[in-house]
């Protein structure tokens, strides 16, 4: 394929944000910063065979998820996503129409959040497909939702069902089967096309000292990161964690998916107990799902405890690790 012709075709003809001075077409993009706001920048790399399976996903699916997981990181800071850049290493087996389909799906998702693409790079590779997406967002100064904000007495919450993405991956890999096609499609959709919780993150940014993480590596891992950054212990309860009512039908070890499966890209966070009721009501009125799953119990040693009935289990910081397969 012709790299420059591809760049010409994916260059947007209009922009959402007037502060862009120079977009695609020069050595680098230039845009003005808004007074009273702070910029948020995140980047994720996805590799075929590690983060996605091109044999089980369409180019559109891959493009969607590559952008969605970065938007989720912006949401976890309480920010608004604005710009993105895409770098891809394309193996010889990929066709030009595949690349166009990937970019087109990213463009569709970006329009939902009024994001502009402002640059990137395209190269060839003799290895697997690699796609790297950088997203730039903004948050009001001093309003970012940091992992270090959790305090004893805070309510612990999540924004949606957990374990479904891991179940979907299990179906894709042929490890799981079910007679109900709609059930299978639901779990696979949760894996391939997670919904970034931008609206939930924006609501969180309006409250004082909210800690947030997006669930990429698993609930246990994300809560341990909050516990470590805030130097607190966290208690969560099995019967409060939202999950599909069909999850337990798939395998007896469904808790592994919920706690350690990862890639749900829901938000998990903490908020002070005196703000919880108002926060819950605002989320409900905005159509944002939110579920109370536990409390921050005390300061000091960083731990996460999982209560299953009368049993208390220490949750280790494990989940998906690209250099240590421990799940």
Cα separation, 313 vs 173, whole angstroms = 30
Annotated ligand binding at 120? The verdict is: yes
Q: Are 90 and 123 in contact (CB under 8 A)?
A: yes
Residues 6+ apart with CB under 8 A from 66: 44, 46, 86, 102, 106, 131, 133
Annotated ligand binding at 214? The verdict is: yes
Annotated ligand binding at 27? The verdict is: yes
Beta strands of the chain (E only): which ranges?
Answer: 20-22, 30-31, 37-47, 80-91, 116-125, 130-140, 155-158, 211-214, 232-237, 267-271, 291-299, 303-308, 311-314
The neighbour count for residue 172, using CB atoms within 10 Å, is 19
Annotated ligand binding at 278? The verdict is: no
Measure CA of the first residue to CA of the last residue in the chain; give whole Å: 39
Cα separation, 225 vs 150, whole angstroms = 11
Cα angle, residue 185 at apex, residues 181 and 186 outer, rounded to 5°: 120
Annotated ligand binding at 320? The verdict is: yes
Annotated ligand binding at 149? The verdict is: no
Token pair for residue 244? 């599909």
Nearest to 217 by CA among 226, 230, 208: 226
Residue 21: exposure state from Cβ atoms within 10 A (0-12, 13-18, ≥19): exposed
Cα angle, residue 226 at apex, residues 39 and 214 outer, rounded to 5°: 60
Cα separation, 200 vs 207, whole angstroms = 12
What H or E segment, with its residue span, contains residue 261? none
Annotated ligand binding at 49? The verdict is: no
Phi/psi for 129 (5° steps) reads -60, 135
Q: What is the DSSP string of 120-174?
A: EEEEEESS--EEEEEEEEEEETT----GGG--TTPEEEESS--SHHHHHHHHHTT
Annotated ligand binding at 291? The verdict is: no
Annotated ligand binding at 116? The verdict is: no
Q: Which residues are annotated as a binding site?
A: 27, 44, 51, 73, 103, 120-121, 147, 214, 216-217, 263, 320
Q: Which residues are annotated as a binding site for ATP?
A: 103, 120-121, 147, 216
Q: Which residues are annotated as a binding site for Mg(2+)?
A: 27, 44, 73, 121, 214, 217
Q: Which residues are annotated as a binding site for substrate?
A: 51, 263, 320
């Amino acid at each position: 394929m012709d790299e420059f012709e591809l760049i010409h075709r994916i260059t947007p003809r209009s922009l959402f944000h007037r502060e862009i001075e120079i977009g695609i077409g020069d050595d680098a993009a230039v845009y003005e910063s808004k007074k009273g706001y702070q910029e948020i920048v995140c980047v994720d790399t996805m590799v075929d065979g590690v983060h996605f399976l091109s044999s089980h996903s369409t180019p559109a699916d891959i493009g969607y998820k590559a952008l969605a997981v970065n938007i989720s990181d912006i949401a976890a800071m309480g920010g608004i996503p604005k710009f993105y850049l895409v770098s891809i290493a394309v193996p010889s087996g990929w066709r030009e129409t595949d690349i166009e389909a990937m970019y087109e799906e990213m463009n569709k998702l970006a329009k939902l959040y009024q994001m502009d693409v402002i640059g990137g790079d395209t190269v060839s590779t003799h290895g697997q497909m690699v796609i790297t997406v950088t997203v730039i967002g903004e948050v009001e100064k001093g309003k970012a939702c940091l992992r270090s904000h959790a305090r004893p007495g805070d309510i612990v919450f999540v924004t949606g069902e957990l374990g479904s993405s891991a179940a979907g991956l299990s179906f894709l890999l042929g490890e799981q089967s079910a007679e109900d096609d709609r059930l299978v499609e639901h779990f696979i959709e949760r894996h391939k096309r997670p919904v970034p919780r931008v609206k939930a993150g924006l609501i969180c940014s309006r409250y004082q000292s909210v800690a947030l993480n997006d669930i990429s590596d698993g609930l246990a891992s994300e809560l341990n990161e909050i516990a470590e950054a805030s130097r607190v212990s966290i208690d969560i309860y099995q019967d409060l964690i939202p999950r599909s009512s069909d999850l337990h039908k798939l395998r007896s070890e469904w808790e592994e998916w919920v706690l350690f499966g990862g890639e749900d890209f829901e938000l998990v966070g903490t908020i002070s107990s005196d703000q919880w009721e108002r926060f819950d009501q605002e989320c409900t009125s905005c159509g944002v799902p939110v579920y109370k799953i536990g409390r921050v119990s005390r300061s000091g040693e960083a731990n996460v405890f999982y209560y299953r009935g009368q049993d208390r289990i220490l949750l280790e910081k494990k989940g998906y690790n690209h250099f240590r397969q421990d799940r």
